[in-house]
Amino acid sequence: MKFLVDRCAGKRLADWLRGQGHDVLEARTFDPDPGDMVLLEMAGKQERVLVTIDTDFGELIYVDRIAHSGIVRLPDVPAAIRIKLMDKILVEYKSELRSRAIITVRGERIRISKRED
């Protein structure tokens, strides 16, 4: 699976995803930071799931109608917990990721939203 990991989601998560055999691009390697809209558009064009802790992407998708290839929004928790949550998503929600869903994790709850075009 292909991912674009936002700066805020962290290098450890990106490294872990690579270690699991995924194709990972990291926003932290872009200098200067291109901003949320450019990241979302880039992820969409490259068919990458965007992984973030940032809440701003919801507005870009639902209000501004920016196309995407799926999003995983993790909570702002220590990296080890984000990795554990991402592992659970990859195991239990793989088909949703492939169908470009928006997956939001809040505490122990995982919410799946369908892709908006």
What is the per-residue pLDDT across 70-109, written as a single tens digit (0 to 9) for each? 999 999 999 999 999 999 999 999 999 999 999 999 987 9
Band (115; pLDDT cuts 50, 70, 90): low
User: Would the pLDDT of 114 be above 80?
Assistant: no
Give the pLDDT of residue 117: 52
Residue-range domain boundaries for the chain: 2-113
The whole-model pTM stands at: 0.91
Strand partners, 29: none
Give the pLDDT of residue 64: 82
